[in-house]
Amino acid sequence: MRLLLLSNSTAPGQGYLEHAMDTLTETLAGVRRLVFVPFALADHDAYTAKAAEALAPLGIEVVGLHTGDPVRLLRSAQAVFVGGGNTFRLLRALYTRELLALIRGRVANGTVYIGSSAGTNLACPTIRTTNDMPIVQPPAFDASGLVPFQINPHYLDPVPGDPHMGETREERIGQFLEENDVPVLALREGTWLRRRGSSLTLGGSDAGARLFRRGSHPSEVATGTDLSWLLTITARFH
Amino acid sequence: MRLLLLSNSTAPGQGYLEHAMDTLTETLAGVRRLVFVPFALADHDAYTAKAAEALAPLGIEVVGLHTGDPVRLLRSAQAVFVGGGNTFRLLRALYTRELLALIRGRVANGTVYIGSSAGTNLACPTIRTTNDMPIVQPPAFDASGLVPFQINPHYLDPVPGDPHMGETREERIGQFLEENDVPVLALREGTWLRRRGSSLTLGGSDAGARLFRRGSHPSEVATGTDLSWLLTITARFH
């Protein structure tokens, strides 16, 4: 199984996917045809064109999953890229089209999976650690389970003295852990996870990640850390 | 119908509910017994004790909805106060206990309803404009519909030059409007809505609110504005 799960698709002052181009090039080595899943945003054509433009220098043909028979498209592609946007909208679209199991099956059989933001949430067992607004109601929160733990993309550290009285991200993840016994890997912007078979590594910027587990203080994870043990945990959702 | 819907329960540097004590005193005039709904947080006893302490100066007896037969408790109270926390956890608890319709019915029959944050989301037709993390899965996003439009509590204006690449609150509400034709009143911290029958007014701090409607630019709403027309709109969720 080959996965690349990005916290974010765009870094400040850079173009779409530019900050991750080296790891994308490596992950997509040998891939000629990629299916793009644009359902997290409203304009599927425009979103697919943006992804195609970003990946053109790699010589990869990008086809939108909305442009034809999705089963045939997924079977003919060597990679699938699920773009960011609203996770609830993305998940509902995949349930409506009955594509979740197909994507999971293709990736288990060797199709490369790339996700950014909402696409990274989709690789988790559930979307319960998304930051997105629940603008539409999917039939369930269960996602593709390409990894057995939860990821929180776009992780933001608490800001001391912030007068805003809404929950910090750390508090929100703490509430998740009150209800579920599942580790949450919070990816700061510019970082990503790479899975190759039973190997899992944190990559990207030096910002690193933060790991939240029930009953423990959160711990820092440095970029480059081998996190393969996270693929062997047992998740307990309630 | 008498409602008080607070954006937040605590203001910077003040105690729980302290910033809203005048409007609480006015809204709760004549109320001797209040039922507190603590399900948005994990520790129901501690949360109820906190609410009881804050309302003690008003001479009001506060009873937690988790402490006895909820039907009897709701029937014997003159007011219900739904505290903030996680909106998904709150809504799931009310579905599990089959209390949503009962609360709606009691409030329609004159029981005062006070909500803060998650409790304010609960007064809307759905929880689709909450800021909270979907840590548990309620059977539906439909809420109590005490007002026919959506509210976004803890509203934060976009920060120019913010390097964080996640969506701004304005962008998230824009995504909601792509999917649903329902006005969203975004309450900045320190503000609240008061409904008395067919009258609706924005109260609280001078920060005011921001109104988002499909096909229009967002507009500013000054504190003190009569918003009764919002009670007559037709919501179209998709």
Q: CA A43, CA B20: separation in Å to the nearest integer?
A: 43
A116 pLDDT above the threshold of 80: yes
Q: Which residues from chain B sit within 8 angstroms of residue A166, using beta carbons? A: 8, 117, 131, 153-154, 156
- Tokens representing residue A227 in the block: 């996190």
Which of these, B139, B138, B141, B172, lies nearest to B154 by C-alpha position? B172
Q: B237 in a domain, yes or no?
A: no
Contact B165 A136 (CB under 8 A): no
| pLDDT tens digits, one per residue of A121-148 | 999 999 999 999 999 999 999 999 999 9
- Tokens representing residue B116 in the block: 């803060």
**Lowest-confidence segment of A65-74, A153-162, B12-21, B168-177 by average pLDDT:** A153-162
pLDDT, average across residues A68-83: 96
Measured CA angle at A182 (ends A177, A184), to 5 deg: 80
Please report the pLDDT score of residue B167 as a whole number. Answer: 87
Q: Which of B129, B141, B154 sits opposite A166 (nearest CB)?
A: B154
First-to-last C-alpha distance (Å) of chain A: 28
Which of these, B188, B56, B84, B216, lies nearest to A164 by C-alpha position? B188
Q: B6 in a domain, yes or no?
A: yes
CB burial of B144-177 (b: ≥16 within 10 Å; e: otherwise) equals bebbebbbbbbbeeeeeeeeebbbebbebbbbbb
Please report the ipTM that was assigned to this predicted complex: 0.95
Please report the pLDDT score of residue A7 as a whole number. Answer: 96
User: Token pair 């594509």 is at which residue?
Assistant: A99
Find residue B146's DSSP bridge partners: none
- Tokens representing residue A116 in the block: 């950014």
A78 pLDDT above the threshold of 80: yes
Q: CA A134, CA B133: separation in Å to the nearest integer?
A: 9
Where is A63: in which H helix or E strand?
strand A61-64
Q: Residues near B228 by Cβ (< 8 Å), separated by ≥ 6?
A: B198, B199, B200, B201
pLDDT, average across residues A198-208: 97
Q: B55 in a domain, yes or no?
A: yes
DSSP string, A172-211: HHHHHHHH-B--EEEEETTEEEEEETTEEEEEESTT-EEE
CA–CA min distance A176, chain B (Å): 5
Q: B216 in a domain, yes or no?
A: yes
Q: Which of B42, B165, B176 sits opposite A189 (nearest CB)?
A: B165
Mutate to test the interface with A, among B175, B205, B212 (most CBs of A within 10 A): B175
Q: B238 in a domain, yes or no?
A: no
A89 pLDDT above the threshold of 90: yes
pLDDT, average across residues A192-210: 97
Q: CA B20, CA B12: separation in Å to the nearest integer?
A: 13
The CATH number that applies at residue B192 is 3.40.50.880
From A9, A19, A116, A132, the catalytic residue: A132
CA torsion, points A158, A164, A168, A171, in degrees to nearest 10?
120
Q: Which residues from chain B sit within 8 angstroms of residue A164, using beta carbons? A: 154, 156, 189
Q: Which residues of B lie inside 8 Å of A (Cβ-Cβ)?
A: 8-12, 42, 85-86, 89, 117, 126-137, 140-141, 153-154, 156, 163-167, 172-173, 175-176, 178-180, 189, 238
Q: Are strands A199-204 and B2-6 parallel, antiparallel or unpaired?
A: unpaired
Cβ burial of A77 (10 Å; 0-12, 13-18, 19+) is buried
- Tokens representing residue A65 in the block: 């999953």
The single-letter DSSP state of residue A222 is: -
Number of structural domains found in chain B: 1
Q: Which of B42, B128, B134 sits opposite A130 (nearest CB)?
A: B134
Find residue A219's DSSP bridge partners: A211
A198 has catalytic annotation: no
Find residue B5's DSSP bridge partners: B115, B193
- Judged by DSSP in three states, B177 sits in helix
Q: A237 in a domain, yes or no?
A: no
Please report the pLDDT score of residue A132 as a whole number. Answer: 97
In this structure, how many other beta carbons lie within 10 angstroms of the beta carbon of residue A95? 14
Please report the pLDDT score of residue A113 as a whole number. Answer: 98
User: Token pair 């690789």 is at which residue?
Assistant: A123
Q: CA B219, CA B206: separation in Å to the nearest integer?
A: 15
Q: Which domain holds residue B51?
A: 2-232
Q: A238 in a domain, yes or no?
A: no
Please report the pLDDT score of residue A111 as a whole number. Answer: 98
- Band (pLDDT 50/70/90 cuts) for residue A166 is confident
Please report the pLDDT score of residue A24 as a whole number. Answer: 97
CA–CA min distance A178, chain B (Å): 7
Contact B163 A12 (CB under 8 A): yes
Cβ burial of A149 (10 Å; 0-12, 13-18, 19+) is buried
Torsions phi, psi for A114 (to 5 deg) = -120, 130
B219 has catalytic annotation: no
Q: Which residues from chain B sit within 8 angstroms of residue A138, using beta carbons? A: none
Contact A164 B176 (CB under 8 A): no
Q: Which of B10, B85, B134 sits opposite A127 (nearest CB)?
A: B134
Which residue of chain A is at minimal alpha-carbon distance from B13?
A163
Q: CA B183, CA B128: separation in Å to the nearest integer?
A: 12
Q: CA B126, CA B135: separation in Å to the nearest integer?
A: 17
The single-letter DSSP state of residue B196 is: E
CA–CA min distance B148, chain A (Å): 16
Is the distance from CB of B211 to CB of B193 less than 8 angstroms? Answer: no
Which residue of chain A is at minimal alpha-carbon distance from B156?
A164
Please report the pLDDT score of residue B160 as a whole number. Answer: 82
From B142, B154, B205, B228, the catalytic residue: B154
Please report the pLDDT score of residue B163 as a whole number. Answer: 75
A61 pLDDT above the threshold of 80: yes
Q: Which residues from chain A sit within 8 angstroms of residue B11, using beta carbons? A: 165
Q: Which residues from chain B sit within 8 angstroms of residue A156, using beta carbons? A: 164, 166
**Lowest-confidence segment of A15-19, A67-71, A165-169 by average pLDDT:** A165-169
pLDDT tens track of chain B, all 238 residues? 999 999 999 998 899 999 999 999 999 999 999 999 999 999 999 999 999 999 999 999 999 999 999 999 999 999 999 999 999 999 999 999 999 999 999 999 999 999 999 999 999 999 999 999 999 999 999 999 999 999 999 999 998 878 777 789 999 999 999 999 999 999 999 999 999 999 999 999 999 999 999 999 999 999 999 999 999 999 999 9
- Band (pLDDT 50/70/90 cuts) for residue A174 is very high
- Amino acid type, B45: D
- Band (pLDDT 50/70/90 cuts) for residue A163 is confident
First-to-last C-alpha distance (Å) of chain B: 28
CA torsion, points B175, B176, B181, B184, in degrees to nearest 10?
-120
Q: CA A60, CA B99: separation in Å to the nearest integer?
A: 54
Q: Which residues from chain A sit within 8 angstroms of residue B238, using beta carbons? A: 136
pLDDT, average across residues A161-170: 83
Please report the pLDDT score of residue B71 as a whole number. Answer: 94
Q: A59 in a domain, yes or no?
A: yes
